[in-house]
Structure 1
Amino acid sequence: MTHPQQPGNWGGYPGQPQGYPQGPGYPGHGYPRGGPPKKSRTGLWAGLAAGVVVLVVLAITGFVAPGFFLGKDSGTGQAGPETPPPAPPSESTSDTPTTAPSRPSSGASAESLEKAVALTRQFVDKLNANDTKGAGAMKCPDSGTILEGLIVLSIEPPTSLTVGSATSGARRIQVQVSGTTMGKQTSGTVTVQDSPGAPQCIRMLTIR
């Protein structure tokens, strides 16, 4: 036996229409028209942008100032190598005396100069006496016949020469002479060789 269905009631309670009330703003399942509201992502993007900015600032600061990430009081950073102070000059403790470089002799001694002047007086006396042979005998052993040739060319009676001052050089002493020869006023030098360990001798005669 079947019961007749009541109009407007589809299996619900009597007097209650089927389904939920539907009206403006609640179509279908109760959401506003157009479906459920979309979630806003504006806050998410703002947070990501702020984080990127902070990372960029930290990276730039760390590149420009590497010590920025190390605190002043933190002992974790490694100090760079310090330049050691220059070492004081060491003093030599050697007992070996320092040998000074040898220097050339400044000249003949006063005694050698006196001897050269005395030898030149003997030489000039022989020239004044026209003793060419005796004057030539006072030459240095290794000078050959140079002195005799100079005497012949420079001296001719009457001769009157006097001896002046002496100046020293490298194993040579120059003695000044002046006077007359061949009737003419003249002057010149007599070179005396002064070698260590050897007697002085007449090396050269120069008459101008």
Structure 2
Amino acid sequence: MTITVLIADDHPVVRDGLRGIFTGRGFEVVGEAANGAEAVAMAERLRPDVVLMDLRMPGTDGVAAITELARLGNPARVLVLTTYDTDSDVLPAVEAGATGYLLKDAPREDLFRAVEAAARGEAVLSPAVASRLLGRMREPVREPLSQRELEVLTLVARGSTNKEAAKKLFISEATVKTHLIHVYAKLGVNDRAAAVAVAFERGLLGS
């Protein structure tokens, strides 16, 4: 059975190359899109089995397109094909609903197998991406902040120095520093500003 494929990439040379390697090998390239918006519109119209989706495209990027296809209930499986494997690229794409994530330096045969697997609904991840996601899953669960840690962080968020926070809480400045070190570790940050930002984001501090 022929697998229909839609290619979404903002580089014409890449689209031409992909069309060339897929044509006549049990695949049919039914369309090409230059950005995420085009990819969504074409996927809705053409109903391909698999969308080969680049991530960084002008206008609507790959993650936004994957999110929109999921919202529309489009049955196409999305296989991300990109040069980027950082957490900031991989995780949003997988969370948005991508079936697979491959890098553009993948061997041709790996790409064929990946599209076939994606068409069957199987998850496909390049080794580098798989190890990255596995490492993220193994991270320890963040502990909740203690009441005293929240008190210290609240004062910091209001602009208090360590010395001022110590005075207000009737504790030593060294104890304030220790509490902040624990806060940084629990929130996964390295400084006061980031701690305050993450705490607000998680609803730990009042508005």
- TM-score bracket, normalised by the shorter chain, equals under 0.3
Larger radius of gyration: 1
TM-score by length of 2: 0.19
TM, length-normalised to structure 1: 0.19
Structure 1 or 2: larger helix share?
A: 2
